[in-house]
Amino acid sequence: MGADHRHCAVLGDPIAHSLSPVLHRVGYAALGLDWEYDAVRVDEGGLAGFVAGLDPSWRGLSLTMPLKRTAMSLVTETTARARLAGAANTLVLDDGVAVLADNTDLPGAVAAVRERYAGPVTAGTVLGGGATAASTGLALCELGARTVTLMVRSPERAAEAMAAIARHPSGPSVEVRSLAGDPVSGEVVVSTIPAAAQDAELVARCAGVPVLFEVLYDPWPTPLAAAERAGVLVGGLDLLVHQAALQFELFTGMAAPLEAMRTAGVEALAQRGAVG
């Protein structure tokens, strides 16, 4: 391995399903970089120790559940969007030391929606109340929403996400409703909940929305994504590709080969039998 060899990885628990290694590795190959990118299972209690043990060859970490909020305490410098969301899905390293926490979920979600939908967004609903709900709720505000509704089973678990969305400079109105029966509203409905929580009644309530944004890509399609609809479907792979491209640029300092990364993601899902 040469002096330019670098390491990156995606961390989370669970992590075996992640397509991030596929996307990043294809990006490295396209640009001729001698870099590695792996998936490592790390739980919330193990994150600080893992980061502290990295050697100088490490350049970046992508973070998924349940690590996004914990990561904020590991660095002294955070981007404005990470502070806004109260969560980071990206740690940039210098000589193996974490120096910056960022959140590429937020701009990645904006890009994913705008790639498929050019219409107005005045209000939106987010199913779920975790860190991804906060980031995508903020993305709705970036798209123009003045009202964001969080639909959850336990309102107290949505407190952090609600506070994060309310911090958006546009001063949105943030409401909390019950996932079990209350109506959805707005031009965009974002689902951050597990496929197992998407029962037939919820699917029926979401059937008529102009835009459904399903952040999951595995399993695919989820019940919400599989339902017949007249509106636009934005998928989890759309979000993954756009946020990964932003991470790639943060880690390497080079423009990401977006279409090569997208093609690799589609092919990998097809090989899993997750798309028709």
Q: Tell me the DSSP string of 186-197.
A: SSEEEE-S-GGG
Is residue 68 flagged as an active site residue? Answer: yes
How many helices (DSSP H) and strands (DSSP E) are in the chain? Answer: 10, 11
Burial (0-12, 13-18, 19+ Cβ within 10 Å), 16: exposed
Q: Which residue has the tokens 């209690």?
A: 45
Query: Would you say how long the chain is, in residues?
Result: 276
Residues 6 or more apart in contact with residue 85 via CB below 8 angstroms: 103, 105, 106, 131, 134, 135, 138, 164
Query: Which of the following is catalytic: 68, 69, 81, 262?
Result: 68
Residues marked as catalytic: 68
